[in-house]
Amino acid sequence: MTDFQSVHGAAPTGVWAAPGRVNLIGEHTDYNDGFVLPIALPHAARAAVRLRTDGLLRLWSEQGDGQVTELEVEGLAPGSVEGWAKYPAGVVWALREAGHPVGGADLWFDSDVPGGAGLSSSAALECVVATAYRDLYDLPLSNADLAQLAQFAENAFVGVPCGVMDQMASMCCSEGNALVLDTRDLTQRQVPLDLAAHGLWLLVIDTRVKHDLADGAYAELRAGCEKAAALLGLPALRDLAPEGLAGALERLPEELAPLVAHVVTEDARVEQAVALLDAGEFAALGPVLTAGHASLRDDYRVSCPETDLAVSAAVEAGALGARMTGGGFGGSVIALVREGLLTEVEAAVRAAFAAAGYAEPRTFTAVPSAGARRLS
């Protein structure tokens, strides 16, 4: 364990944090202009930062490669940076592309968001940089502005065609609330989610697997959705109402129809989930989660044996509902569990993984936590 001083030789100007997230429901809807319902995790990326005047970016991460990466801000361009440093460097590049006159800095990162587990460690890393730069340069940018710049960094600089959910969740979620987000116009609403007051827990199960096809498949699925929307003459799949789904499916090629079925029913599930949260009927969220998983598994086909097993084992052991969260092909599962059954559900998932010969999953409970912020 290092600290800023030992890496960079002086004290930082400040320390910032930005969280990872789990999405309750609304998966693969954000790049279809649809709806999502994430909460921020208590797990976050922290950044200690001090600006530099010589145009250099010096980056160190406790989860990095054991080296300081030194980059010239002027020379930043897509493809110019390798490895983990492209996430933070991409944000500095994106700010400059948007016309903000930002320069170099010494940065030190430490994150307890599990990486590559579908919990958005990448967005946490981007958003903590964006937030620190906004504060240090006094930039006139809202949280949503920073989220969009961070997404632009991940799309154009890192080269991952993600939607805007992860960055919006990290920037805009708040303690005690789920974030209802319309990804078309970024309209947002905080909905109270005090599960403990209802005797409920949200259990996160990190399967610790990430299958290789994840990155390519994501881009293909996104392209498939855009093609389907174009064939249907719609700006985005969000514009297809559930009543029009059956007719639309008849007009679509076989390989695109199930994608559309998932996106349209998933948007409807977000709406259903939000109504339940507004009514305080938290336990009724369970079946909506499980239905969402079935749709991801059977229609969108982004689940995998490990996430399917975590879901079925949790539900069989008495969870009210469960689903994979994040892009899929591995990653994490969330399960809504009554307080008295938490230990049992966790044990059942572990036993099922052991019996299947899978690596031991990592499990923890999550409460809706704070979005990006300055710590000191």
- Using CB distances below 5 to 8 A depending on partner kind, what does residue 117 bind out of ligand ADP, Mg ion, none? ligand ADP
Q: Smallest distance from the beta carbon of 122 to Mg ion, in angstroms?
A: 3
Sequence-distant contacts of 346-354: CB under 8 A, at least 24 apart: 346/203, 347/317, 348/313, 348/314, 348/316, 348/317, 349/205, 349/310, 349/313, 349/314, 349/317, 351/313, 352/309, 352/310, 352/312, 352/313, 353/207, 353/306, 353/309, 353/310, 353/313
Within 10 A of 241 (CB to CB), how many other CB atoms are there? 11
Please give the distance of CA 30 from its chain centroid, rounded to a whole number: 11
Q: In terms of CB distance, is 78 or 258 closer to ligand ADP? A: 78
Order of strands, edge to edge, in the sheet holding 56-61? 69-72, 56-61, 105-111, 38-51, 14-23, 373-374
Order of strands, edge to edge, in the sheet holding 200-210? 321-325, 330-338, 200-210, 362-365
Stretch that binds Mg ion, among 121-129, 193-201, 226-234, 247-255 (CB under 5 A): 121-129
Residue nearest to Mg ion (CB): 122
Rounded CA-CA distance 376/371 in Å is 15
Q: Does 111 bind ligand ADP (CB under 6 A)?
A: yes
> Which two three-digit tokens encode residue 320?
């009210």
Residue of the chain from 23, 111, 122, 295 that contacts Mg ion (CB under 5 A): 122
Q: Does 121 bind ligand ADP (CB under 6 A)?
A: yes
Q: In terms of CB distance, is 2 or 343 closer to ligand ADP? A: 2
Q: Does 87 bind ligand ADP (CB under 6 A)?
A: yes
> Which two three-digit tokens encode residue 132?
């620190």
> Which two three-digit tokens encode residue 23?
């999405």
Stretch that binds Mg ion, among 116-124, 198-206, 238-246, 274-282 (CB under 5 A): 116-124
The answer to whether residue 166 is catalytic is yes
DSSP assignment of 309-329 equals: HHHHHHHHTT-SEEEEESS-S
326 to 365, contacts with ligand ADP by CB under 6 A?
326
Q: Smallest distance from the beta carbon of 261 to Mg ion, in angstroms?
A: 26
Q: Which of 166, 206, 267, 299 is catalytic?
A: 166
Q: Does 325 bind Mg ion (CB under 5 A)?
A: no
Q: In terms of CB distance, is 47 or 341 closer to ligand ADP? A: 47
Residue of the chain from 109, 201, 218, 353 that contacts ligand ADP (CB under 6 A): 109
- Using CB distances below 5 to 8 A depending on partner kind, what does residue 64 bind out of Mg ion, ligand ADP, none? ligand ADP
Q: Smallest distance from the beta carbon of 374 to Mg ion, in angstroms?
A: 23
Q: In terms of CB distance, is 103 or 115 closer to Mg ion? A: 115
Residue of the chain from 63, 174, 312, 365 that contacts ligand ADP (CB under 6 A): 63
Q: Is residue 208 a contact partner of residue 364, using CB atoms and an 8 Å limit?
A: no
Q: Is residue 137 a contact partner of residue 105, using CB atoms and an 8 Å limit?
A: no
Could you list the residues that contact ligand ADP (CB under 6 A)? 45, 61, 63-64, 84, 87, 109, 111, 115-122, 125, 326
Could you list the residues that contact Mg ion (CB under 5 A)? 122
Catalytic residues: 166
